[in-house]
């Protein structure tokens, strides 16, 4: 992997596109053009990337190696045709849109467009993301290597062999940070209910989630073993886990939640 990432065109600089751009800029990017109609969304990148409001304003001489599609999946049919002109030049389209299928993107970009579907997550902003990616037929080895380098620049990467596998990935790791942040929220609330001051509850919840994540990242042990290491026989944690791990509690709820999100990703195929 080269030290500096190649020229990129980012379409949509919202929460996820912005998170990835932060990571790429930190890593070193030769040139980035960002198409973002709402100036406030991209304001944090002024001076570090060229920000333009629409496809017509992209500098005529700009030849991006990759075009990152980071708009909402519902906006793709109306927005993508304006970028089809980059396909014949060999640009790789990397879509992070939930659900939106390769077939529907090629309907807008041209049937020969080289497309990778990737599903990152917001820890990419601190280069600790996880992305699973799928390379559509026709993507060359060099293009796949380019996508891999871009995605690795903001965290860990895995490739899947079947396009549909991106949909459960979207449910698990794409949305996963939201479930972890929800854990911090409900832990804080429960601490306050037990009489702790609000500022202490907030600090405890954040530090516990962040510290546990750091331990999990650093440890070769399974999550279950790290859990068991906290759980003294006949102790306090065991009492809490008896509630959380009842058959209709966390395990069943998580299965139901992930199935619901996977179904929604499939609905967004287009």
Ligand X SMILES: NC(=O)C1=CN([C@@H]2O[C@H](COP(=O)(O)OP(=O)(O)OC[C@H]3O[C@@H](n4cnc5c(N)ncnc54)[C@H](O)[C@@H]3O)[C@@H](O)[C@H]2O)C=CC1
Ligand Y SMILES: O=C(O)[C@@H]1CCC=N1
C-beta closer to ligand Y: residue 64 or 175: 175
Stretch that binds ligand X, among 115-123, 146-154, 194-202, 207-215 (CB under 6 A): 115-123
174 contacts ligand Y (rule: CB under 6 A)? yes
Q: What tokens does 56 get?
A: 């017509």
104 contacts ligand Y (rule: CB under 6 A)? no
Is 13 within any annotated ligand binding site?
yes
What does 197-254 look like in DSSP terms, one character per residue? -HHHHHHHHHHHHHHHHHHHHH--S-HHHHHHHH--TTSHHHHHHHHHTSTTSHHHHH
∠ CA(85), CA(100), CA(40), 5° rounding?
70
Q: Look at the block and give the residue holding tokens 């907030």.
A: 202
Q: What residues from 113 to 152 belong to the interface with ligand Y (CB under 6 A)? A: none
Residue 228: count other Cβ atoms within 10 Å of its Cβ. 13
175 contacts ligand Y (rule: CB under 6 A)? yes
* Distance in Å, CB of 211 to ligand X, minimum: 23
Binding mask 56-95 for ligand X (x = CB under 6 A): --------------xxxx-x---x----------------
- Residues found near ligand X in the complex (CB under 6 A): 11-17, 35-38, 41, 70-73, 75, 79, 96-98, 119-122, 174
């Amino acid at each position: 992997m080269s030290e500096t990432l190649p020229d990129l065109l980012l379409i949509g600089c919202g929460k996820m596109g912005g998170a990835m751009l932060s990571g790429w800029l930190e890593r070193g990017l030769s040139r980035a053009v960002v198409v973002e109609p709402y100036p406030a969304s991209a304001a944090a990148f002024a001076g570090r990337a060229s920000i333009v409001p629409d496809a017509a304003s992209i500098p005529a001489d700009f030849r991006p190696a990759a075009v990152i599609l980071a708009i909402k999946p519902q906006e793709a049919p109306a927005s993508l045709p304006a970028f089809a002109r980059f396909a014949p030049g060999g640009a790789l389209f990397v879509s992070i849109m939930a659900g939106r299928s390769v077939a529907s993107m090629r309907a807008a970009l041209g049937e020969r467009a080289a497309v990778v579907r990737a599903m990152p997550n917001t820890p990419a902003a601190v280069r600790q993301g996880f992305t699973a990616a799928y390379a559509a037929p026709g993507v060359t080895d060099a293009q796949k290597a380019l996508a891999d380098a871009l995605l690795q620049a903001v965290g860990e990467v895995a490739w899947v062999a079947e396009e549909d596998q991106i949909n459960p990935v979207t449910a698990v790791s794409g949305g996963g940070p939201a479930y972890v942040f929800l854990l911090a929220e409900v832990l804080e609330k429960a601490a306050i209910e037990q009489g702790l001051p609000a500022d202490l509850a907030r600090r405890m919840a954040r530090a516990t989630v962040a510290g546990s994540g750091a331990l999990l990242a650093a440890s070769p042990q399974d999550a279950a073993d790290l859990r068991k290491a906290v759980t003294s026989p006949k102790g306090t944690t065991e009492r809490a886990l008896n509630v959380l791990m009842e058959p209709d509690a966390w395990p069943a709820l998580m299965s139901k939640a992930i199935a619901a999100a996977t179904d929604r990703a499939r609905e967004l195929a287009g």
